[in-house]
Amino acid sequence: MAQADQAPAQANAGFTKRVFSGIQPSGGLTLGNYLGAIKRFVEMQEDDCDTIYCMVDLHAITTWQEPDQLIRNTREVAAGFIASGIDPAKSILFNQSQVPEHAQLGWIFTCVARMGWMNRMTQFKDKAGKNRENVSVGLFSYPTLMAADILLYHATHVPVGEDQKQHLELTRDIAAKFNNDFKTDFFPITEPVIEGAATRVMSLRDGSKKMSKSDPSDASRINMTDDADTIARKFRKAKTDADALPSEVDGLEDRPEARNLVNIYAALADMPVQSVLDEIGGRQFSEFKPMLSDLAVAKMAPIAGEMDRLMQDPGEIDRILGIGARAAREIASPILAKTYDIVGMLRSA
């Protein structure tokens, strides 16, 4: 890993793409976060993009977080990024609360977004459930802060899992409305990047539910810190049906648990789903599950080992995030200042 003694050669002015994405430190990272997001983050870092990645701790507190645990989770997510291949000398890596411009632009966008748009957000409905009257206002307005995260850097591309698609459409709507209201073209219309075989990794216990770090059942997910035995046990116990695996992609329709495990295999192996089925079609789960466990252990165990090593030195993680936050502010601060000018906020000389 390259050590970040200074900010990445930022402004990276020659790059045509600027990538931003974030992950909430609301728990330990899952295989869903890795395959749906972090793996793409690393690929885009190596792809001549200007990359900015963030632990979105302000988002995490939209649901209750124990303060000490939040700090630990923020470091652990940072360790997960670095252990997976995010190089702080190439990408800006920081936690959101160290860059106050996120909250400042978030407020402006809360005033741009319309209640009707926000009321359509399915993630709020899922997360609030029957408890709507009692959840935080922040959970409701979460997508306006997410729009600010992205547009504060004039990011052009945002790699995310499938579950974030609607929030990214809202980000585009906010940028377009701001530009239209203030007769400007200041904010770019961002492109979502939702790619790969595992853009929606499902729970190992229920193929209709997303794998999630806040699911009360630990057996529902593979954590990025799970050891080899735990990974093998969780896949062995993963819910499946009784049929053999199909040889064609069509045969996975109406078999959500089978589709999920095959997609995970394909994403880990960097293979198209059909190529996986060419190999395993006709086999029983009792044969396929150990293959999947072995592959997952081979890919994830070195990352878990590196995360463990990084977590032994929290001061070094904090130092890296401090450098990242300063680099982020260099980009964010003039964009916020210009936004204030456009909106008509008086600034003293």
List residues near ligand AQP by CB under 6 A.
23-24, 26-27, 30, 32-33, 36-37, 160-161, 163-164, 199-201, 210-214
- Asked if 338 is an active-site residue, the reply is no
- Asked if 183 is an active-site residue, the reply is no
| 29 versus 232: smaller Cβ distance to ligand AQP | 29
Binning the chain into helix, strand and coil, the percentages to the nearest 5 are 60, 5, 35
CB of 182 to ligand AQP, least distance (A): 29
CB of 83 to ligand AQP, least distance (A): 16
Task: Tell me if residue 20 falls in helix, strand or coil.
Answer: strand
Contacts 24+ apart (CB under 8 A), 305-308: 306/1, 306/79, 306/82, 306/83, 307/76, 307/79, 307/80, 307/83, 307/224, 307/225, 308/225
From 39, 90, 127, 234, active-site residue: 127
From 17, 125, 130, 210, active-site residue: 210
| 73 versus 339: smaller Cβ distance to ligand AQP | 73
CB of 159 to ligand AQP, least distance (A): 7
- Neighbouring C-alpha atoms within 13 Å toward the C-beta of 223: 20
CB of 279 to ligand AQP, least distance (A): 23
Contact status, residue 255 vs residue 243, Cβ threshold 8 Å: yes
**Distance (Å) of CA 264 to CA 200, 217, 299:** 10, 19, 12
Question: How far is 339 from 56, CA to CA, in rounded Å?
Answer: 22
Question: How far is 180 from 336, CA to CA, in rounded Å?
Answer: 18
* Residue 224: both structure tokens together: 């990025």
| 4 versus 139: smaller Cβ distance to ligand AQP | 139
| 295 versus 342: smaller Cβ distance to ligand AQP | 295
| 202 versus 297: smaller Cβ distance to ligand AQP | 202
From 183, 213, 239, 289, active-site residue: 213
- Asked if 239 is an active-site residue, the reply is no
CB of 180 to ligand AQP, least distance (A): 28
Write out the catalytic residue numbers: 127, 210, 213
